Chains A and B, each alone.
Chain A
Amino acid sequence: MSSHALLLRRHSVLPGFNLSLGFALLYLCFVVLIPLSAVFLKTFTASWDTFVATVTAPRVVASYRLTFGASLLAALVNGVFGLLVAWVLVRYRFAGKRIVDALVDLPFALPTAVAGIALTSLYAANGWIGSRLPFKVAYTPLGVFVALTFIGLPFVVRTVQPVLEDLQRELEEAAATLGASRLQTFAYVVFPALAPALLTGFALAFARALGEYGSVIFIAGNMPMISEITSLLIITKLEQYDYAGATAIAVVMLVSAFALLLLINLLQAWVRRRQGR
């Protein structure tokens, strides 16, 4: 064993540290780190002015507005209905509950392309749902919102559910004993306890929606300036062999995603500190 490894880690009788860590690091570098660094290095080859001009072009800005706006709206809807679904699954009993509980994960398991064509055909003007609505959904920004709501559905449910299961019933009973109405108990006792998980689930759904591609492109209609998402714009630029342009937009999306991830981690650290764990 090399002295370098001894400096790096505390002593243990178990073997295999150098081999396992070495392999893990090597694999991480080749699969993730080196390719990912290419995005940033490629950006540095372009001048600052070109970069700014690319990422603030009107068509690109319109795509940010749609992507961020629809993602935010979808995450908000999932926040409300995710909380409701988690509540119903934890607190109430009804026929088929286990099946419903298992199916909540469907958007994780169903390939995005399948979700995309299914939603498009349902919400198209002649589809099961689209034909019953007085307004157009498919091939409009509203369609993007529908697809992103589907994709983000499990996040809030699965982050709120375990917290709700752990919630002490005694607190609610105490509130009821002290004369609180059921609604007051929920607003002042239950909701504050669920809020951090709800916020985490919301942020995860939002982050997922920002990068979503497969389920959206079928239903969006992909009209420039109106219903074109940023991910699609990256692909369009790639197909025109404009690698620098595609990379510049990708950097903006990557930085937003990392910032959001950092925010989620800080949020979770803050919650852990507050709960004294």
Chain B
Amino acid sequence: MSAVIDSGRRAAVERAGARPAAAPAVPDAIGEPAWVRRALIGVALGFLTLFLFVPLVSVFVQALAKGVDVYWAALVQADALSALKLTLIAASVSVPLNLVFGVAAAWAIAKFDFRGKSVLLTLIDLPFSVSPVIAGLIYMLVFGLQGWCGEWLRDHDMKVVFAVPGIVLATVFVTFPFIARELIPLMQAQGQEQEEAARVLGASGWQILWRVTLPNVKWALLYGVILCNARAMGEFGAVSVVSGHIRGQTNTLPLHIEILYNDYQFAAAFAVASLLAGLALVTLVLKYIVERRMHASAEPEKSQ
């Protein structure tokens, strides 16, 4: 969703300028009494505990509920490994594709003025407002047996839906805007003076891209890749529609979790889920580090 990106970008770009180096102590005139402060903190943390921390912890607890042996067996089971492989394939195709698209789109939008730019920006955001199930549905309509290319694909003995290509395509769709949305605002804010200077000094287009533009946006790029990868590995709805749920062939990790859970193999389901929860935690840590780096590189002179 757009707010994933919005929040991330805002956190990085806006906080960079806004947050003072050290928060001053709250003056009494506009502070709340200590008991109010404590009560508000208590309620906020209570809410977060109930809705965030307990579910997160419960994943790991239930994964290990039947012991380490069951946990390990669930992870090395053949179906789990093939699901892991397919998840890695989907992510390793969709992230680079959307990375190339993001850089190309950001280069065109941020470095040039052309008609229809705002329309293009809106269209890039479009996949965020399409729900995952509908994202899967549209590929069924194009490549399914009743779809536009259905008969042609059947005649040429090719499968897209209920096969790996469909899963990859659905993943590409849902992760489509992530990297572009990180790069565009930053590259627009940076302007094109540095690139123009490089051009005047005789650099070619590719040299400008590799030596001037990309180094300037490397943290935003990494940030986009992290978010894109997390979504690619965790996507459920869109992939579920086009997968066909063939065990060992078209199951990704989230779909494998669903099958195990519906088979009442709870410990195994949570064991596989703990892998993805671990990935989510790594994503949050990386996000935190990269946000700090972006903060630092946005205003190096103000850092302590």
Q: Which residue numbers of A lie inside 8 Å of B, CB to CB?
A: 8-10, 12-17, 19-21, 23-25, 27-28, 31-36, 38-39, 42, 81, 84-85, 87-89, 91-94, 98, 100, 102-115, 117-119, 121-122, 128-129, 146, 149-150, 153-155, 158-159, 161-162, 165-166, 169, 172-173, 176-177, 182, 185, 201, 204-205, 207-208, 210-214, 218, 231-232, 234-235, 238, 241, 243, 246-247, 250, 253-254, 257-258, 260-261
Contact of B236 among A33, A113, A253 (CB under 8 A): A113
A28 touches B124 (CB 8 A): yes
B19 CB–A CB distance under 8 Å = yes
Contacts of A103 in B (CB 8 A): 48, 52-53, 56, 284
Give the contact stretch, choosing among B71-79, B217-225, B253-261.
Answer: B253-261
Assign chain B's interface to a size class.
35 or more
Tell me the minimal C-beta distance from A84 to chain B in angstroms.
5
Residues of chain A within 8 A of B205, CB atoms compared: 14-16
Q: Chain B residues with Cβ under 8 A from A10's Cβ?
A: 112-114
Which 10 pairs from chain A and chain B are nearest by CB?
A: A211-B131, A111-B234, A158-B7, A214-B236, A213-B237, A9-B114, A15-B205, A21-B108, A109-B280, A113-B254
Q: From A15, A121, A238, give the contact of B241 (CB < 8 A).
A: A238
Task: Produce 1/0 per residue, B4-30, CB < 8 A to A.
Answer: 101100110011001100010011011
Closest to A93 in B: B23
CB–CB A24/B104 < 8 A: yes
Given A32-B176, A117-B270, A158-B3, are A14 and B54 neighbors across the interface (CB < 8 Å)?
no
Residue from B10, B138, B234, B235 within 8 A of A36 (CB atoms): B138
Q: Is the CB of B15 within 8 A of A213?
A: no
| Chain B residues, CB < 8 A from A201 | 3
Main secondary structure of the interface of A (DSSP, over half): helix
> Please, which residue of chain B has its CB at the minimum distance from the CB of A105?
B284
19 contacts between A and B (CB under 8 A): A14-B195, A16-B205, A24-B104, A28-B105, A28-B124, A35-B173, A85-B44, A87-B44, A93-B23, A100-B48, A111-B235, A111-B253, A113-B254, A121-B62, A121-B270, A165-B19, A204-B1, A238-B137, A253-B131
In the assembled complex, the Cα of A108 lies from the Cα of B140 at a distance in Å of 26
| CB-defined contacts of B237 to chain A, threshold 8 Å | 112, 213-214, 231
CB-based contact B142/A38 at 8 Å: yes
Min CB distance B131 to A, Å, is 2
A211 adjacent to B133 (CB under 8 Å) = yes
Cβ distance B140 to chain A, nearest Cβ, rounded Å: 6
Given contacts A92-B37, A214-B237, A9 and B115 within 8 Å (CB-CB): yes
CB-CB contacts of B229-264 with A at 8 A, as 1s and 0s? 010011111001100000000000111011001000
Q: Judge whether A208 and B257 touch: CB under 8 Å.
A: no
Q: A9 to B113, Cβ gap below 8 A?
A: yes
Q: Do B18 and A165 touch across chains, with their CB atoms under 8 A apart?
A: yes
Q: Which of B141, B208, B270 has the most CB of A within 10 A?
A: B141
Across the interface, B114 reaches (CB within 8 A) one of A8, A14, A260, namely A8
Check A257 against B130 for contact (C-beta < 8 Å).
yes
Q: Is the CB of A162 within 8 A of B11?
A: yes
Contacts beyond the supplied A114-B280, A159-B7: 14 A-B pairs with Cβ under 8 Å:
A13-B199, A14-B196, A16-B205, A16-B209, A27-B104, A28-B124, A35-B173, A39-B141, A117-B273, A118-B59, A118-B270, A153-B51, A165-B14, A176-B30
For residue A19, which residues in chain B have a CB less than 8 angstroms away from its CB?
A: 104
Asked whether A110 lies within 8 Å of B18 as measured between CB atoms, the reply is no
Assembled-state Cα–Cα distance A234/B237 (Å): 11
B112: contacting residue among A14, A104, A205, A213, CB under 8 A: A14
